[in-house]
Amino acid sequence: MSVAMSIKTKHTDLIKTEAQRLGFLSCGIAKAEFLEEEAPRLERWLKENRHGEMQYMENHFDKRLDPRKLVPGAKSVVSLLYNYYPSESQIDNTYKISKYAYGMDYHFVIKDKLKEFMHNLQEEIGEIHGRAFVDSAPVLEKAWAARSGLGWIGKHSNLLTQQLGSFYFLAELVLDLELESDHPVTDHCGDCTACIDACPTEAIIQPYVVDGSKCISYFTIELKNEIPASYKGRLDDWVFGCDVCQDVCPWNRFSEAHEEPLFNPHTALLSMDKKEWQEISQDVFNSVFQKSAVKRTKYTGLKRNIKFLD
């Protein structure tokens, strides 16, 4: 083995060991390059206005497709998965929020881990340049995770793994470091159409294509205007996000509860019934969702969503 190859292997092993130590479910690596296959798909999706009012999706088109435009000299994209599947769920027959928003906002939790990750790499390796991303920049996270062998993109457009399902966050380190790349895995959706059949708003318009402007998550989080009246009775009691396509996916029977205390929900959240949701005050909202991703929709947005469901 050449010296260069041995250093590459050493750095790769270091990164995977560190990812495990920091509590990530898995870690995969891909060469930083232009995403040739994704480019026409993204262009078509935007042209067909599948992003609705999410204008930010139109920005930085080139950066979304080439991480070297985000990190000059980038050589590798390290993709990471972090579990958020809860041990307990909300009571039945209540207004629902996505499981990922039960506890503290994942941006804070994972960003801190990535800062520590970068610091430790620099301590071990020396001067390296890179950036950490958690759903916070124009990075096609699922495409990179699939390229690095962490799973395949399912018919609902979420990343899926045979061992873990899909209830995890994605994060990336884009580094100017030569590393050994992993290989993509095969698609195991087969003939299953559970997610397509179950979607309350028919947002999965064909296998592997989601019309974001029809998604319940879009209506309850991203949409700033009123929810279209034509969707009355179709939001399935979701007031922040939606987990339907993941809940019905057979691969999620392998999901295991996370071990991250910061993702544990406020004690009041899981037991809140519809009446309590309808009467929620600004103070209760601030208390229950103090550091939660639910803050994104704000108190007024949550009240709007609840009122739409009444």
Burial of 87: CB neighbours in 10 Å, binned 0-12, 13-18, 19+: exposed
pLDDT at 155: 98
Residues 46 and 171 in one domain: yes
Backbone angles phi, psi at 248, to 5 degrees: -90, -10
Domain count, the chain: 2
Residues 22 and 74 in one domain: yes
pLDDT at 98: 98
Catalytic residues, which ones? 135
> How far is it, in rounded angstroms, from Cα 238 to Cα 11?
44
Residue 95 lies in a domain: no
pLDDT at 99: 98
Residues 201 and 140 in one domain: no
Taking only the tens of pLDDT, the chain with its 310 residues reads 566 668 999 999 999 999 999 999 999 999 999 999 998 888 888 888 787 777 777 777 888 899 999 999 999 999 999 999 999 999 999 999 999 999 999 999 999 999 999 999 999 999 999 999 998 778 999 999 999 999 999 999 999 999 999 999 999 999 999 999 999 999 999 999 999 999 999 999 999 999 999 999 999 999 999 999 999 999 999 999 999 999 999 999 999 999 999 999 998 999 999 999 999 999 999 999 999 999 999 999 999 999 999 8
Question: What long-range pairs does 44-52 form, CB within 8 A, spacing at least 24?
Answer: 45/209, 49/213, 50/209, 50/210, 50/211, 50/212, 50/213, 51/212, 51/213, 52/212, 52/213, 52/218, 52/222, 52/223
Quickly list DSSP for 7-58: HHHHHHHHHHHHHHHTT-SEEEEEE----TTHHHHHHHHHHTTTTTT-GGGG
Residue 259 lies in a domain: yes
**Segment 79-136, tens digit of pLDDT:** 999 999 999 999 999 999 999 999 999 999 999 999 999 999 999 999 999 999 998 7
Residues 168 and 19 in one domain: yes
pLDDT at 226: 95
pLDDT at 3: 66
Residues 60 and 203 in one domain: no
Residue 209 lies in a domain: yes
pLDDT at 1: 57
Task: Please give the single-letter amino acid code of residue 15.
Answer: I
Residues 21 and 137 in one domain: yes
- Structural domain containing residue 280: 194-309
Residues 75 and 222 in one domain: no
pLDDT at 268: 94
